[in-house]
Structure 1
Amino acid sequence: MTKEKEKLLEIELKIGKILRAGVFISSAVIIIGLAMFVFTGYSGYSGTTYPRGLSEIVRGLLEFKPFAWLMTGLFLLILTPVLRVLASIFAFAKEGDRMYVIITMMVLAVLVLAIFLGHTGA
């Protein structure tokens, strides 16, 4: 195996580890939130209210509100592919492949824009 192929394989293995870790961590947080909800029967919020912003979610985490834990797990799950794109940018930069760095940065920009627009409800 050539040196370049070894580098590519190493990079792909690292990216795979990032994806597995992201899914594992987000799943664990979701399971914690779900268990808290099942055992208490209470979401931590009254009626149809729920945390809408990052500060409210963090406050809910610190107060051990089940719904905040569930939302954090989902946020981490959504963040996992974004981390994969970031890792790919660094991998392509390390390889010296400028075209793929630019393309991957455009993909990252679209992801960030979609997350922002989804958050604002636009």
Structure 2
Amino acid sequence: MNAKEKEKDVSDVELAVSRWLRIGVYVSATVIIFGLILFFVRGSSGYQGDAYPNSLPDIVRGIMALRPYAVIMLGIILLILTPVLRVAISVWVFKREGDKLYVGITSIVLVILIVSFLLGKA
């Protein structure tokens, strides 16, 4: 592969990554807006008092019941996961290019992100 083809390949990958990031933001914004519409139509969060969903199972149950706060939380989670998707795509891109050093570094970053989500508490 000559330099021009490699440059075009990198450019195509960058466009694909930016497209995925844009889609992630649009999807999360749509979900959040849907949750806000539900909130304004129903006039409540779907939860008693100042309670809100604070765990993944609570959010899933709330989404199944179309509770506005749960839907909004889903949108926020999708927004947070969008850059994580970018890191995962980067691992694939570096592996495809044969850049072992950056595959290792980016994989470590991805593992740290995933572990922080699993261990984190609000």
- TM-score over 0.5 (shorter chain): yes
Query: Is 2:122 the counterpart of 1:85?
Result: no
Partners of 2:118 and 2:61 in 1: CA distance: 21
Partner of 1:27: 29
Q: Aligned partners of 2:91, 2:12: CA distance in 1, in Å?
A: 15
- Stretches of structure 1 that go unaligned for 5 or more consecutive residues are none
For 1:49, the equivalent position in structure 2 comes to 51
SS at match of 2:66: coil
Which residue in the other structure is 1:5 paired with? 7
- In the superposition, the TM-score normalised over structure 2's length comes to 0.92
| Structure 2 unaligned spans of 5+ | none
Shift of 1:16: 0.5
**CA deviation map 1:38-71 (0-9, x unaligned):** 2221000001222222222111111110000000
Query: Aligned to 1:50, what secondary structure does the other structure show?
Result: coil
SS in 2 for 1:48: coil
Identity percentage of aligned residues: 44
What do you get for the CA RMSD once the two structures are aligned?
1.3
| Residue pairs, 1:33-72, within 5 angstroms | 33-72=35-74
Structure 1 segments of 4+ aligned residues over 6 angstroms from their partners: none
Q: Give the counterpart of 2:107 among 105, 108, 113.
A: 105
Q: Helix, strand or coil for the counterpart of 2:45?
A: coil
Equivalences, count = 120
What residue identity is the alignment partner of 1:46? Q
How many Å separate the matches in 2 of 1:97 and 1:13? 20
